Amino acid sequence: MSSENSFIYDFIVIGSGPAGFSAAIEAAQYGSRVAVIEMEDEIGGVCINTGTFPSKTLREAVLQLTGFYPKQIYRRIWPERPIVSMEQLRERLNAVRAEERRIIRYQLDQAGVTLYYGAASFVSAKQVSVESSDGRVIFLDGRYVIIATGSKPRRPADIPFDDEIILDSKSLLDLREIPKTLIIIGGGVIGSEYATIFAALGVKVTLLDMGGKLLKFLDSEISDHLKNNFPYGNIRYLSGTGCRRISLQYGEAVAETDNGSVLRGDRLLFALG
């Protein structure tokens, strides 16, 4: 390979999420030459683009647009819950993501970190190739390589994901309209969070949880308080209930539970890891 497409750094960081970003900034502050490689089209990783920030942004947008908090206080005089569209929610979501990406990019630039977009592959222990979407390949040599590639939603092979009716936490953000009914598999953080968000929008949610209590890592008192205060009573919580089979039938999501019952919904969110 020629030197024209080869660059030398002290640290090569694969991934621009919170871990990769923090490592890159820290190394740069000590005078190291640092490169960050991001495979996706946008920086920030799952935290900014599909995970933490999107769910928290949707939560706040829903609370504001529906007047959820004021309605709890001024119950008698607050008007009926307004109609909220996914377009409104996505507009707010995109604005927040864009601002967070801008902040990250600014901080990387200020620290002198070089950002590359593309898929990283190890050529050797200290050399990484980066292939961009247009097929161009460059090579980065580094004294140290930090792998900070993060995570992605679990998608078992036997689940017929189509990203329109049967969804994971990433494709859920691309919904074109708010469903009337939603089945959520998984009573962890993601499942519980989206259950309450959509319930506040008036969606009838069925939440399946294999465990004995909601958010099992919490104290029982806190878990019970959440369960007893679901928005507008729109969540049907089924504890100790696993899902034997998920299928698509006539434009609906169908979940067959371990106890033999059959659940149908406009959409299904698989949120098990």
What integer best gives the mean pLDDT of the chain? Answer: 91
pLDDT of 144-162, one tens digit each?
999 999 888 999 999 999 9
Please give the biggest Cα pair distance in the chain: 74
pLDDT of 9-47, one tens digit each?
999 999 999 999 999 999 999 999 999 999 999 999 999
**pLDDT of res. 81:** 59
**pLDDT of res. 204:** 97
Q: Which of 135-144, 170-179, 209-218 has the lowest mean pLDDT?
A: 209-218
Distance CA 225, CA 4 (A): 62
Rounded to the nearest 5 degrees, what angle is found at the Cα of 192, between the Cα atoms of 187 and 193?
A: 150
Say whether pLDDT at 98 is over 50: yes
Distance CA 65, CA 239 (A): 31
Distance CA 69, CA 75 (A): 10
Distance CA 34, CA 145 (A): 10
Say whether pLDDT at 202 is over 70: yes
> Within 10 Å of residue 132's Cβ, how many Cβ atoms?
12
Q: Any idea which residue has 């140290």 for tokens? A: 144
Say whether pLDDT at 6 is over 80: no
**pLDDT of res. 261:** 94
For the segment 131-149, the average pLDDT, to the nearest whole number, is: 95
More confident call, 230 vs 70: 230
Q: Which of 140-144, 198-202, 212-216 has the lowest mean pLDDT?
A: 212-216
**pLDDT of res. 78:** 53
More confident call, 181 vs 133: 181
pLDDT of 58-76, one tens digit each?
998 888 888 776 666 655 5
Instruction: Please tell me the chain's helix, strand, coil percentages from 3-state DSSP, rounded to the nearest 5.
Output: 35, 30, 35
Find out whether 108 and 115 touch, Cβ atoms under 8 Å. Answer: yes
Tell me how far apart the terminal alpha carbons of the chain are, to the nearest angstrom.
41
**pLDDT of res. 1:** 47
- Burial bucket for residue 219 (CB in 10 Å: 0-12, 13-18, 19+): exposed
For the segment 93-121, the average pLDDT, to the nearest whole number, is: 96
**pLDDT of res. 2:** 44
pTM of the model: 0.86
